[in-house]
Amino acid sequence: MQLNLTKPLVIFDLETTGLDLVKDRIIQISYIKVNTDGKEERGNFFIDPEKEIPQEVEELTGITNDDVANAPTFKEKAKELAEIFTGCDFAGFNSNRFDVPMLAEEFLRAGVDFDFAKSKLIDAQNIFHKMEKRNLAAAYEFYCGRKMEDDFTAHKADEDTEATWRVLQGQIAMYSEDNQNDPERVLKNDIAELAEFSKMNDFVDFAGRIIWKNLTDKEGNVLLDEDNKPRRHEVFNFGKYKGWDVAEVLRKDPGFYSWILSNDFTYNTKQVLTRIRLREFNNR
């Protein structure tokens, strides 16, 4: 089933040296860019992580240090990727928790300020878990009617990307009004609604160091905006200022901002905090 797109959608998958957003690096990236006219553009290439690929990662992915030895570094590919991805929404499998944060980190390390806040982020795994609660292989069999191992090799970014794209299309078809009698199991063919349904948390930054919290009055009642939706503000989700309004902390303890920038936090957390700081400065 064709998705209703208002702007291009990039379905992508990463293979990396590990799961640490600060220390690990991308070794393979694969994407399918689906344009609003339905035309699909594909990209798949290795990345030199500029560090050794651990043996367990080699065994899991089949990607060796020899495979990436002559590959470009992410910094060398960053501007090209940013041009391809600008103006797009994004989809993946477990992408909101890992692939998008990792890609954001790599862009920032390369000096490219790619703003994912301007994009809708769809996580097919979150849709699947909320609807059926299984993994990619089970999702593929459930939505596509075939065993994934019959069609793909596991832990290959390009093949996982293809599988995820087919799963997402299958989800839209299965949960359409035509195929569901229960209104609560209907998913609209709408990128904004799919992105909202895919969300599993209220993180402001990808690492969850800063989160959204509803504003309340003195009696604890949630304050509403002009659209009758809860008004929200950013609060810290760690350390001595956990639960405190971020803007308030930046005013009262500017040294806390400097401490975060000089310590082992993700570039994305530092980026988000800097944007809040600049916003508050400009609103004075």
DSSP letter for each residue of 61-88: H---HHHHTTSPBHHHHHHHHHHHHTT-
Instruction: Please give the Cα distance from 40 to 191 (Å, whole number).
Output: 17
Q: What is the structure's pLDDT at 134?
A: 74
Closest alpha carbon to 70 in 55, 97, 50: 50
Taking the C-alpha atoms of residue 248 and residue 244, their distance in angstroms, rounded to an integer, is 7
The rounded Cα 63 to chain-centroid distance in angstroms is 23
Cα 261 from chain centroid (whole Å): 23
Identify the pLDDT of residue 217.
87
The predicted structure's pLDDT at residue 133: 65
pTM: 0.79
Distance, in Å, from the CA atom of 16 to the CA atom of 68, rounded to the nearest integer, reads 12
Q: What dihedral angle (degrees, nearest 10) is formed by the CA atoms of 237, 224, 130, 209?
A: -10
Alpha-carbon distance 9 to 32, whole Å? 8
- Beta bridge partner(s), residue 234: 212
Q: DSSP 3-state helix, strand, coil percentages of the chain (rounded to 5)?
A: 45, 15, 40
Residues of the chain with pLDDT under 70: 133
Q: How far is CA 15 from the centre of its chain?
A: 14
3-class SS at 41? strand
Beta bridge partners of 224: 230
Q: Within its chain, how far is the Cα of 8 from the centroid?
A: 16
Q: What local confidence, expressed as pLDDT, does residue 154 receive?
A: 72
**What confidence tens digit (pLDDT) does each residue in 241-261 have?**
999 999 999 999 999 999 999
Query: Which residues are 14's β-sheet partners?
Result: 29
Q: Name the 3-class secondary structure at 263.
A: coil
- Residue-by-residue DSSP string for 128-193: HHHHT---HHHHHHHHHSS-HHHH--TT-HHHHHHHHHHHHHHHHHHTSGGG-SSGGG---S-HHH
Q: How far apart are CA 71 and CA 65, in angstroms?
A: 10
Residue pair 235/228 in contact (Cβ under 8 Å)? The answer is no
Confidence at residue 193, expressed as pLDDT on a 0 to 100 scale:
93
Q: Which domains does the chain have, with CATH numbers?
A: 9-198 (3.30.420.10), 210-282 (no CATH)
What is the tens place of the pLDDT at every residue in 40-57? 999 999 999 999 999 999
